[in-house]
Amino acid sequence: MGAENDLSIRNRIQALLDRDDAHLWLFAAGTLFLTVLPLALNTFWTRIALGVLLWVGLAQSWNMIGGYAGYLDFGHGAYFGAGAFVTGIVMTELELPFVAGLLIAGVFCAVLAYAVGVPTLRLSGAYFAIATWAFAEAIKELALIIEITGGTYGMTIPTGPGTAGIPLVGWPDEMFFYYLMLVLTLGTIALAYWLFEHSEFGFRVKAIRDHEDAAQSLGIDATKIKRRVYVLSCAIAALFGSANAYYITFVHPNDVLAPIITDQMIIMALLGGLGTIGGPIIGGVLIFLLNRMTSLFLGQTTLYLPLIGVLIMGIVLFAPSGVVGILRGEVGREDVKRNLRELAEKFNIL
């Protein structure tokens, strides 16, 4: 009876998702809900919602290169940090408003990603992962020693009336930053949906991911397409780094260039479902709330790490396609039982 109920629920969900206009309705409903959400929240919960939006957007940006293109990028957080520092330099040294810093950060990191992508995207698998990780560590060490970033002292971002560079915006408050992050996140989701799910470019990217040699034999320029995906995903990460820097008003290399930033993007996309639109959204919400709720209610700031480990082990063993795969009905009770039985036999538990 329970299996029949599970099947019925999955069938209903699948029937809704199979409608041609389902994603548009979901996006519209989500946009409306998120637009009015802060009106019902106090400052604390608005900050929580803002954090969710930030990490959903970052996970979605990593999913472009890691999920859709299939390249495990361990240096994605470097562009988040670079975007933060470029914005800080523009605002402090050039005395330009935040909007200028945001745009310059995006352009700068797009150029940087292109330069990095030319040699590294010729690699694949573990070699690409190691190369991008080494790049991220190099950027972090560089930021710690050069004077323009503040070195080991970090950098303070100017804030106050007029610093945003947006008409009718006085002193930036929580509501301003919430809607700023909402625009960036919804824009990233909409772009990813159109580009990777409903365009010829997206089909080419998936063809390269599934079998690069076969894709090239059909005339697809794999190198050029991979480079474009990499530049796009890194530029988006830089925009979020820029917005976050203006929000927190202080950036330090050990914070905005920490390896845990990339790690969390990967975990969120993996938990939700790689190469899907909904995966980074689900994973970003679950992981960020798990982090904050364990800190809020249990008083533990690191307890969520082993909990994440357990979640990831469960996903890898029983639902490789993530939570999205479970909702789609790709993994059922019988699959879980079979995997448990095989696991038990492998380690002689039974």
Query: How many angstroms separate the CA atoms of 195 and 233, rounded?
Result: 12
CA angle 37, 251, 235 (to 5 degrees): 70
- C-alpha gyration radius of the chain: 21
Query: In the prediction, which pLDDT does 160 show?
Result: 82
Query: In the prediction, which pLDDT does 146 show?
Result: 93
Supply 306's token pair: 């082993």
Q: pLDDT, tens digit, for every residue of 250-302?
A: 999 999 999 999 999 999 999 999 999 999 999 999 999 988 888 777 766 66
3-class secondary structure, 251? strand
Nearest alpha carbon to residue 242 among 146, 165, 326: 165
- Average pLDDT, stretch 338-342? 74
Beta bridge partners of 251: 155
pLDDT of 218 over the 60 cut: yes
Nearest alpha carbon to residue 63 among 229, 180, 194: 229
Instruction: Fill in the DSSP letter of residue 158.
Output: P
Model confidence, pTM = 0.89
Instruction: Fill in the DSSP letter of residue 246.
Output: H
Q: pLDDT, tens digit, for every residue of 223-257?
A: 999 999 999 999 999 999 999 999 999 999 999 99
- Average pLDDT, stretch 167-178? 82
Query: In the prediction, which pLDDT does 3 show?
Result: 54
Which residues are within 8 A (CB) of 207 and not within 5 positions of it... i.e. 6 or more apart? 214, 215, 218, 220
- Average pLDDT, stretch 104-118? 96
pLDDT of 9 over the 70 cut: no
Q: pLDDT, tens digit, for every residue of 305-331?
A: 788 888 888 787 777 788 888 887 777
CA dihedral 192, 293, 174, 279 (to 10 degrees): 0
Residue 166 φ/ψ region, left for φ over 0, alpha for ψ in the -120 to 50 degree band, beta for the rest: beta
